[in-house]
Structure 1
Amino acid sequence: MKVLTIITAGVLFFFTSACSSTTGNGSTLLRITGVVQASGITSYQYGTHTLTSEEKSYALKSTNIDLSKYEGETVKISAEKIKGYPVENGPEFLNVQKIERNK
Protein backbone atom coordinates (compact mmCIF):
# COMPACT_ATOMS: atom_id res chain seq x y z
CA MET A 1 0.00 0.00 0.00
CA LYS A 2 2.87 2.36 0.80
CA VAL A 3 4.41 1.72 -2.61
CA LEU A 4 1.15 2.57 -4.37
CA THR A 5 0.87 5.82 -2.39
CA ILE A 6 4.46 6.79 -3.29
CA ILE A 7 3.93 5.98 -6.97
CA THR A 8 0.67 7.95 -7.07
CA ALA A 9 2.32 10.95 -5.39
CA GLY A 10 5.23 10.76 -7.84
CA VAL A 11 2.91 10.65 -10.87
CA LEU A 12 0.89 13.60 -9.55
CA PHE A 13 4.09 15.59 -8.92
CA PHE A 14 5.35 14.83 -12.43
CA PHE A 15 2.16 16.00 -14.13
CA THR A 16 1.90 19.07 -11.93
CA SER A 17 5.47 20.15 -12.64
CA ALA A 18 5.27 19.30 -16.36
CA CYS A 19 2.21 21.53 -16.80
CA SER A 20 3.64 24.36 -14.74
CA SER A 21 4.48 27.50 -16.66
CA THR A 22 5.88 29.87 -14.11
CA THR A 23 9.20 31.69 -14.17
CA GLY A 24 11.74 31.85 -11.38
CA ASN A 25 10.17 35.08 -10.10
CA GLY A 26 6.67 33.54 -9.99
CA SER A 27 5.30 35.15 -13.18
CA THR A 28 3.15 33.03 -15.45
CA LEU A 29 4.48 32.36 -18.95
CA LEU A 30 1.99 32.66 -21.77
CA ARG A 31 2.43 30.55 -24.89
CA ILE A 32 1.04 32.23 -28.00
CA THR A 33 1.37 31.57 -31.73
CA GLY A 34 1.18 34.43 -34.21
CA VAL A 35 2.99 36.64 -36.73
CA VAL A 36 5.72 39.04 -35.53
CA GLN A 37 5.88 42.54 -37.03
CA ALA A 38 7.86 45.67 -36.20
CA SER A 39 5.49 47.95 -34.31
CA GLY A 40 6.26 51.25 -36.05
CA ILE A 41 4.23 54.26 -34.94
CA THR A 42 1.36 53.36 -32.62
CA SER A 43 -1.12 55.24 -30.45
CA TYR A 44 -0.04 53.31 -27.35
CA GLN A 45 3.76 53.82 -27.82
CA TYR A 46 5.16 50.74 -26.10
CA GLY A 47 6.89 47.64 -27.39
CA THR A 48 9.31 47.15 -30.26
CA HIS A 49 7.20 44.57 -32.10
CA THR A 50 3.70 43.15 -32.26
CA LEU A 51 2.44 39.59 -32.37
CA THR A 52 -0.88 39.04 -34.10
CA SER A 53 -2.60 35.76 -33.26
CA GLU A 54 -5.99 34.52 -34.38
CA GLU A 55 -7.55 35.97 -31.22
CA LYS A 56 -5.83 39.34 -30.75
CA SER A 57 -2.64 41.40 -30.98
CA TYR A 58 0.08 41.88 -28.38
CA ALA A 59 2.87 44.43 -27.97
CA LEU A 60 6.25 42.75 -27.50
CA LYS A 61 9.68 43.47 -26.17
CA SER A 62 12.57 41.19 -25.26
CA THR A 63 15.71 41.76 -23.26
CA ASN A 64 17.46 38.66 -24.59
CA ILE A 65 16.08 37.97 -28.11
CA ASP A 66 16.42 40.04 -31.30
CA LEU A 67 12.78 40.04 -32.39
CA SER A 68 13.63 41.69 -35.73
CA LYS A 69 15.04 38.33 -36.90
CA TYR A 70 11.49 36.94 -36.82
CA GLU A 71 9.59 39.76 -38.56
CA GLY A 72 6.92 38.47 -40.94
CA GLU A 73 7.18 34.92 -39.58
CA THR A 74 4.66 32.82 -37.72
CA VAL A 75 6.25 31.89 -34.40
CA LYS A 76 5.40 30.46 -31.00
CA ILE A 77 6.48 32.63 -28.09
CA SER A 78 6.77 32.09 -24.37
CA ALA A 79 6.36 35.44 -22.67
CA GLU A 80 5.34 37.05 -19.42
CA LYS A 81 2.86 39.90 -19.05
CA ILE A 82 4.35 43.24 -18.07
CA LYS A 83 2.48 44.72 -15.12
CA GLY A 84 0.62 47.97 -15.64
CA TYR A 85 -0.44 47.25 -19.23
CA PRO A 86 -2.47 47.59 -21.39
CA VAL A 87 -2.86 51.37 -21.33
CA GLU A 88 -4.96 53.76 -23.43
CA ASN A 89 -6.81 50.97 -25.26
CA GLY A 90 -3.52 49.41 -26.33
CA PRO A 91 -2.70 45.70 -26.43
CA GLU A 92 -1.27 43.59 -23.62
CA PHE A 93 2.49 44.12 -23.28
CA LEU A 94 4.63 40.97 -23.16
CA ASN A 95 8.31 40.35 -22.42
CA VAL A 96 9.37 37.48 -24.71
CA GLN A 97 11.52 34.85 -23.00
CA LYS A 98 11.62 32.24 -25.77
CA ILE A 99 10.66 32.15 -29.43
CA GLU A 100 10.39 29.24 -31.88
CA ARG A 101 9.75 29.33 -35.60
CA ASN A 102 6.57 27.50 -36.58
CA LYS A 103 7.33 24.41 -38.63
Structure 2
Amino acid sequence: MASSSLCCRCSWFRWASGPTPLELSSKTWLFLGLSGLATGASWVCYFWALKIGDASKVAPVDKLSLVLVAVFACAFLDEPCRSSNECSRSEQGKRKNRALS
Protein backbone atom coordinates (compact mmCIF):
# COMPACT_ATOMS: atom_id res chain seq x y z
CA MET A 1 0.00 0.00 0.00
CA ALA A 2 2.81 2.38 0.84
CA SER A 3 4.55 1.79 -2.49
CA SER A 4 1.44 2.69 -4.50
CA SER A 5 1.04 5.86 -2.46
CA LEU A 6 4.67 6.76 -3.12
CA CYS A 7 4.22 6.02 -6.83
CA CYS A 8 1.18 8.31 -6.99
CA ARG A 9 3.07 11.07 -5.22
CA CYS A 10 6.04 10.73 -7.59
CA SER A 11 3.84 10.85 -10.69
CA TRP A 12 1.94 13.84 -9.30
CA PHE A 13 5.21 15.67 -8.66
CA ARG A 14 6.43 14.94 -12.18
CA TRP A 15 3.23 16.31 -13.78
CA ALA A 16 2.98 19.19 -11.32
CA SER A 17 6.32 20.57 -12.48
CA GLY A 18 5.46 20.60 -16.20
CA PRO A 19 2.61 20.49 -18.69
CA THR A 20 0.03 17.73 -18.35
CA PRO A 21 -0.49 15.41 -21.33
CA LEU A 22 -3.66 17.30 -22.24
CA GLU A 23 -1.68 20.54 -22.50
CA LEU A 24 0.75 19.18 -25.10
CA SER A 25 0.42 20.63 -28.58
CA SER A 26 -1.01 18.61 -31.46
CA LYS A 27 2.41 18.75 -33.14
CA THR A 28 3.97 17.09 -30.09
CA TRP A 29 1.29 14.38 -30.12
CA LEU A 30 1.87 13.84 -33.84
CA PHE A 31 5.59 13.31 -33.35
CA LEU A 32 5.00 11.05 -30.33
CA GLY A 33 2.69 8.92 -32.46
CA LEU A 34 5.11 8.82 -35.38
CA SER A 35 7.92 7.91 -33.01
CA GLY A 36 5.86 5.03 -31.63
CA LEU A 37 5.08 3.76 -35.15
CA ALA A 38 8.75 4.00 -36.17
CA THR A 39 9.82 2.14 -33.03
CA GLY A 40 7.29 -0.61 -33.64
CA ALA A 41 8.33 -0.94 -37.28
CA SER A 42 11.97 -1.11 -36.21
CA TRP A 43 11.28 -4.01 -33.82
CA VAL A 44 9.23 -5.86 -36.46
CA CYS A 45 12.10 -5.51 -38.95
CA TYR A 46 14.64 -6.58 -36.33
CA PHE A 47 12.76 -9.76 -35.44
CA TRP A 48 12.10 -10.49 -39.10
CA ALA A 49 15.83 -10.16 -39.80
CA LEU A 50 16.58 -12.51 -36.90
CA LYS A 51 14.09 -15.00 -38.32
CA ILE A 52 15.59 -15.09 -41.80
CA GLY A 53 19.23 -14.33 -41.02
CA ASP A 54 22.04 -15.33 -38.73
CA ALA A 55 21.88 -13.59 -35.34
CA SER A 56 25.65 -13.06 -35.37
CA LYS A 57 25.22 -10.89 -38.46
CA VAL A 58 21.96 -9.15 -37.51
CA ALA A 59 22.93 -8.01 -34.00
CA PRO A 60 26.03 -6.01 -35.04
CA VAL A 61 24.00 -4.13 -37.64
CA ASP A 62 21.43 -3.33 -34.93
CA LYS A 63 24.15 -2.04 -32.61
CA LEU A 64 25.63 0.04 -35.42
CA SER A 65 22.42 2.07 -35.52
CA LEU A 66 23.50 3.99 -32.41
CA VAL A 67 26.71 5.06 -34.13
CA LEU A 68 24.77 6.04 -37.26
CA VAL A 69 22.41 8.21 -35.19
CA ALA A 70 25.40 10.09 -33.76
CA VAL A 71 26.98 10.52 -37.20
CA PHE A 72 23.70 11.74 -38.74
CA ALA A 73 23.15 14.14 -35.84
CA CYS A 74 26.58 15.68 -36.44
CA ALA A 75 26.21 15.72 -40.21
CA PHE A 76 22.64 16.92 -40.65
CA LEU A 77 21.58 18.57 -37.37
CA ASP A 78 24.79 20.50 -36.64
CA GLU A 79 25.24 18.78 -33.30
CA PRO A 80 28.72 19.28 -31.82
CA CYS A 81 30.84 16.19 -32.37
CA ARG A 82 33.30 15.59 -29.57
CA SER A 83 35.49 12.65 -28.72
CA SER A 84 34.91 10.80 -25.47
CA ASN A 85 38.10 12.39 -24.07
CA GLU A 86 36.73 15.87 -24.71
CA CYS A 87 33.44 14.94 -23.09
CA SER A 88 35.13 13.52 -20.01
CA ARG A 89 37.38 16.60 -19.71
CA SER A 90 34.28 18.78 -19.96
CA GLU A 91 32.56 16.80 -17.20
CA GLN A 92 35.68 16.97 -15.01
CA GLY A 93 35.73 20.75 -15.43
CA LYS A 94 32.08 20.99 -14.42
CA ARG A 95 32.75 18.88 -11.32
CA LYS A 96 35.71 21.10 -10.34
CA ASN A 97 33.60 24.24 -10.76
CA ARG A 98 30.86 22.75 -8.59
CA ALA A 99 33.39 21.75 -5.96
CA LEU A 100 34.85 25.26 -5.85
CA SER A 101 31.47 26.96 -5.43
Determine which structure has more spread, i.e. the larger CA radius of gyration: 2
Higher relative contact order (CA 8 A, sep 6+): 1
Question: Which of the two has greater strand per residue?
Answer: 1
TM-score normalised by structure 1 residue count: 0.24
Higher helix share: 2
